[in-house]
Structure 1
């Protein structure tokens, strides 16, 4: 069994620990160079050849900076390694002309490394991080595979790649002027009118890019990528900030590229969108920040179901102890519970926008989800409920304590994650916090990080965790899945459920991920109206009724996968799509 040693350079602080890893290493005590000190960085270097795998250095390191990992199987040489004791990637996904290949896996597992390699930004070193590997050797390595031709063209500069980045909020820093000017400047395929129509960008063409919201920036970025002429298109998380309708419109744009003969690769954490957008899927497994393995290519349905089950049969690898279970909850099984809070009809008007909220009630031990188009008033409703904004008419009849996580997160805290938790998480240090919050959100690895240096996903996990740590009657989350991978979303869902049940509380969650909504919801609210002008929110109702109301308004139908019971999007105009629309069943609960 192959063993690798990983050192987290950001967490390693030899000045504070005085090289405790070296002091306790049995190999060093036997006068072997199992661990030595790098003369430049002054950080320890761990020899993977001499390491016995005893794990003493891992347990003794006070900053959890050392990992000794036994790989689950005899792997081939890595495609790329960043250096001694640093992340390594095993395998690359296949690229299929005229198809969309989806990449499914946790954050920090090598997805960005893959696109850097396939785009030519990073030359794969085949594990020889001390050498400049020749293109001839790289091409030889992939001899007989589809990637041989790909790297031959890439090495000669005969391949053009277009990349839609993950962080679309950085777009205004690089692009000046209005949206129309940008679209005209990148339209190499002559498809500007079609793409603008599909992504509903007509109303913002005259707007300056710097004045766009997150969802508008995402749609502009997708359009800009799709309009350029290239051989290979890569879309990194194209649905962040988008509502359900906009996500399905983005699917159409990407699918049109594949149907025109282009090769497309997509990283996506929304399983319903990934299912609709992809023809094939590669699952990535391993240990985030240490190593990643690209599994065999699978058809999209089989691939997603394999991920949900947590077991790669062909590779004989189990990467999750238990499968993800989707419960089908018919309305007939719903039980009336004690009312925790209720509110009258609420109205709020400002800046040319008005929101009407039907009267409703929140029950103990339930989770209510709220969904609808962007710009329809969901965040306004959350702010009124949380007491951040006061309604013009109506009121909450029974006052309750509310813990609120806003949609947009600001990392302006000056200090580490641990310091933030000590000052803002009332239950920090308790056994409950350790088991129900610290572990599910993987916060141990973030403790020594500065809060203002956290990534979007890390900041989201921290924000949800801090909210859950507060003793409240209602927990209110505005888009808690943004920037989280699939695994993190489902862990967050379980953590929210456990806290709500253990405290006899309730939660209200605003989100756009249908799979997440289906997994966590007891009841749901539907928001409709004219985005940016007028919004309306229904009373909480059973999930099936809410979904039928919402999906009928956007013309989308879902079915349930026969094996896993997860929601799947029906192709528009397909037999099932037509059949369900005829019955008025846009959201099937039976198999």
Structure 2
């Protein structure tokens, strides 16, 4: 069994000694093809090349002519030739939808009408529940609303190949299923490629999948296509038999913990019934208890009041009726993260906790969450997944009684989600602190 090793002759390399990508997937007509692998491994680079947004350089500044010659006689070579000759039309949904308002201003209806090249808008609007958003400005949308609009805008275009770079962030379970249904309909007559970390959603969507392995930030290798169930199971086990490559020392295990008996769990706080009234929405919360050392999940569709509930617990918003009287120190990680400041990650965390240099902090937070190589980067330089990991650690680093995390899985890959869950649970149990988590995964 071989361990991952960098190959020769990259498809693309950033700079002289930068990240290198080896191989590319090939879109297949009438199918949804998945791309599955860790963050920073080259999936978005592959999509950018295949969609014509970026030219591969073969690691040596090669021209398009040289690229096509190097892949001549293959399906990939034929596809790339069509891209260069404008013989294939592509549509692309970007990974980070929260950046859309920076490049487009106007109404949702205006954006969707511009992209509706095949007269599919009414059906997509109904499937994605976009009608209530049509009169809204793009700049006023939440992350989940932006995600649905971006998916519909891409699907409404008249293209030969559609690329969707992560469709699950900020969407609830029902919205993910509706998005999958819309994308599956596209694939009946077109080619579709989807990058996704939600394994259940990928299983629902795709017929086949390319796995991507390597060293994040250094190089990535794209495998040949595999059946989606076969590919997902190989990814979970960490061993790819056809390539004879082991990418992980241990398989990913979805652990099930038996709940502790209530009498064994000391009480942290109680609160009475409260409500929050908006113009068109009312949240009513029944009286409840928060126990020490527990991790409690908060589950429900988008727009139902989950974020409002924890904002009230965090003291970010006041209830309309009821008085919580919690008198607790609370640490809160919001759903939508902004880091428009140039503070290095290391300085950001040092400002939060005096424990930064301790072996405990490094072994329990920094190493498991993969932050070692991010310490000298500034917060504004971080990708969505990197910022999410730093925000989770920052939240758990504060001295508090209650920790509230709103959608910590957004933009994290499978391994990072599992590790974040372990870190949160281990932290809660070892310190007897209480953790409440809103998530759809």
TM-score over 0.5 for the pair: yes
2:388 is aligned with 1:460: yes
Match of 2:261 among 307, 325, 335: 335
C-alpha displacement of 1:452: 2.6
Equivalent-residue separation in structure 1 for 2:112 and 2:337 (angstroms): 30
- What is aligned with 1:282? 210
Equivalent-residue separation in structure 2 for 1:254 and 1:142 (angstroms): 29
Equivalent-residue separation in structure 1 for 2:245 and 2:184 (angstroms): 31
Structure number with the bigger relative contact order (C-alpha 8 A, sep ≥ 6) is 2
- What is aligned with 1:346? 274
Match of 1:98 among 6, 11, 30: 30
Match of 1:200 among 129, 136, 143: 129
2:40 is aligned with 1:142: no
C-alpha displacement of 1:511: 0.9
Equivalent-residue separation in structure 2 for 1:95 and 1:329 (angstroms): 41
Equivalent-residue separation in structure 2 for 1:209 and 1:468 (angstroms): 33
C-alpha displacement of 1:420: 1.3
Give deviations 1:256-307, integer Å, cap 9, x for gaps.
1002x21111111222222211111111111111100012211111111111
- What is aligned with 1:370? 298
- What is aligned with 2:251? 323
Match of 1:301 among 229, 247, 254: 229
2:399 is aligned with 1:471: yes
- What is aligned with 2:63? 133
Give deviations 1:301-328, integer Å, cap 9, x for gaps.
1111111111112212221221111234
State the TM-score, normalizing by the size of structure 1: 0.70
Give deviations 1:8-47, integer Å, cap 9, x for gaps.
xxxxxxxxxxxxxxxxxxxxxxxxxxxxxxxxxxxxxxxx
C-alpha displacement of 1:159: 0.9
Name structure 1 gaps, 5 residues minimum.
1-69, 514-591
Equivalent-residue separation in structure 1 for 2:318 and 2:84 (angstroms): 61
- What is aligned with 1:170? 99
Equivalent-residue separation in structure 2 for 1:378 and 1:74 (angstroms): 45
Equivalent-residue separation in structure 2 for 1:268 and 1:74 (angstroms): 24
- What is aligned with 1:531? none
- What is aligned with 1:222? 151
The 3 A distance-change label for structure 1 pair 400 and 267 is same
C-alpha displacement of 1:334: 5.3
The 3 A distance-change label for structure 1 pair 412 and 120 is closer
Moved more, 489-498 or 414-423: 414-423
Equivalent-residue separation in structure 2 for 1:121 and 1:245 (angstroms): 31
Equivalent-residue separation in structure 2 for 1:220 and 1:74 (angstroms): 39
2:116 is aligned with 1:187: yes
Equivalent-residue separation in structure 2 for 1:275 and 1:503 (angstroms): 37
Give deviations 1:443-486, integer Å, cap 9, x for gaps.
22111112232222222111110111223332210111122222
SS of residue paired to 1:296: coil
SS of residue paired to 2:356: coil
Equivalent-residue separation in structure 2 for 1:507 and 1:213 (angstroms): 24
SS of residue paired to 1:166: coil
SS of residue paired to 1:242: coil
Native 8 Å contact 1:341 1:397 kept in 2: no
Give deviations 1:174-197, integer Å, cap 9, x for gaps.
334322232222222121111111
- What is aligned with 2:45? 113
Moved more, 463-472 or 72-81: 72-81
2:224 is aligned with 1:292: no
C-alpha displacement of 1:74: 7.5
2:9 is aligned with 1:77: yes
Name structure 2 gaps, 5 residues minimum.
none
Native 8 Å contact 2:385 2:412 kept in 1: yes
C-alpha displacement of 1:113: 1.5
SS of residue paired to 1:477: strand
C-alpha displacement of 1:140: 3.6
SS of residue paired to 2:187: helix
- What is aligned with 2:372? 444
C-alpha displacement of 1:110: 0.8
Equivalent-residue separation in structure 2 for 1:479 and 1:386 (angstroms): 15
State the TM-score, normalizing by the size of structure 2: 0.93
Match of 2:165 among 223, 236, 243: 236
Equivalent-residue separation in structure 2 for 1:281 and 1:197 (angstroms): 29
